[in-house]
Amino acid sequence: MSNPATGGVLSESVLLNDEELFETLYQQVWRFAAVVATPGTDPDDLVQEALVRTLARRELADLDAPVPYLRKAVLNVVVDNQRRASRWRGVVRRLPDRSTQLDEFPSDLADLEHLSPVDRGVLYLTEIEGHSQAEAATMLGLTHDAVRLRASRARRRLRVAIEAEEAQ
């Protein structure tokens, strides 16, 4: 099997090690992807794209911490997709027929839709997985202060959204 990133051939043992490694960490990365995904995005698609981007540069077995690396890669895919979608929204607004808008995404995580993918990732790592803010900062490539501020603001936005929903 050819590896375009290195110009060489992958050995079966390296391929097997990456496959075994991915099988062990898939659920952790998928759960994170499910939380940071935008409505209508399949978490499997995010994990697959993150894995493709990662394997184009290096083998999973070569990573010191593959789960945090893949989580950051997933987050980068989400942000890239949002950036791309933003460009398309500008084009769609100029179209005369707006009947092609997407339906609302039904989810137990609907309240989290008010948050950015990065904020959802911060809350997932700190609140669900129990990582410290410093650990989350390292995993997401942010400063500790940025994670602390994002977590605080995201909790406040969630609280306001939930209280407003309950008042209705």
- List of domains in the chain: 2-90+110-167 (1.10.10.10)
| CA–CA gap between residue 50 and residue 107 (Å, rounded) | 23
User: Counting every residue, how long is the chain?
Assistant: 168
The total of other beta-carbon atoms located within 10 Å of residue 75's CB is: 23
Q: List the chain residues with pLDDT less than 50.
A: 1-16, 98, 105-106
pTM metric for this prediction: 0.58
pLDDT at 109: 63
pLDDT at 84: 82
Six-digit token string for 74: 């997933």
User: Taking the CA of residue 145 as centre, how many other CA atoms within 13 Å lie in the half-sphere pointing to its CB?
Assistant: 0
C-alpha distances in angstroms, 79 versus 82, 84, 119? 5, 9, 12
pLDDT at 24: 86
Pair 22, 51: CB distance under 8 Å = yes
Mean residue pLDDT across the chain: 80
pLDDT at 82: 86
Q: What is the pLDDT of residues 17-49, one digit of tens each?
A: 778 888 889 999 999 999 999 888 999 999 999
Exposed e or buried b for every residue in 51-67, given b needs 16+ CB within 10 A? beebbeeebbeeeeebe
Q: Can you name the residues that pair with 152 across neighbouring β-strands?
A: none
